[in-house]
Amino acid sequence: MNKNIKSAYFGAGCFWGVEYYFQQIQGVKKVVSGYMGGTQENPSYQDVIYRNTGHFEVVKVEYSADEVSYENLVKFFFEIHDFSQIDGQGPDLGYQYLSVIFTQNQDEKNIVNNVISLLENMNMKVATKIIDGHMFYSAEDYHQNYYQKTGKTPYCHSHRKIF
């Protein structure tokens, strides 16, 4: 087993599209849709959508640090959504759909802040929240690998090269 498998946590609107794009990155071993950042333990999708749980829709990205760096994952995250949108992502509006990165340590926080500085130096506005790590809760099975299961494509995410 590879001992250099790490996890990163990103929210960029509906987790289906975020999951879809991160699954295409070489070095990413697994992507799990879920919820993070709130106060309710073991929230359901219905809880997150209709109750004030404080959770965001996020993905847990398990990756080989020998194959892809955390910095490259962060840069990719910014390339797959509108990080300037302050009220959600595309047509999905609400707190649970905000742009957010959960950092696990000071090194990750420094990397995120450096990437944000690069974007701001390109005159881009960044609304992404940076939050210290919280407990991650996996979403229900029907949310996992949604686009692979349905054959559909993301409706509010696309990849645009920035870096």
**32 belongs to a structural domain:** yes
Give the pLDDT score at 154.
87
Residues 163 and 116 sit within 8 Å (Cβ to Cβ)? no
Q: Classify 99 in phi/psi space as left (phi over 0), alpha (psi -120 to 50) or beta.
A: beta
**156 belongs to a structural domain:** no
The CATH number assigned to the domain holding 60 equals 3.30.1060.10
Q: Rounded distance, CA 92 to CA 129, Å?
A: 17
Domain count, the chain: 1
- The model's confidence at residue 1, banded by pLDDT at 50, 70 and 90, is low
Catalytic residues, by residue number, are 14
Give the pLDDT score at 108.
98
Give the pLDDT score at 115.
98
**57 belongs to a structural domain:** yes
CA distances from 75 to 5, 19, 94 (A): 19, 15, 24
95: containing domain: 5-150
Identify any residues that bridge with 62 across adjacent strands, giving them in sequence order.
7, 30
Q: Rounded distance, CA 17 to CA 15, Å?
A: 6
Give the pLDDT score at 153.
87
Q: Which residue has the tokens 């920035």?
A: 162
Identify any residues that bridge with 99 across adjacent strands, giving them in sequence order.
12
- Secondary structure element (H or E) that encloses residue 21, with its range: helix 15-22
Give the pLDDT score at 2.
63
**70 belongs to a structural domain:** yes
Question: DSSP letter at 3?
Answer: T
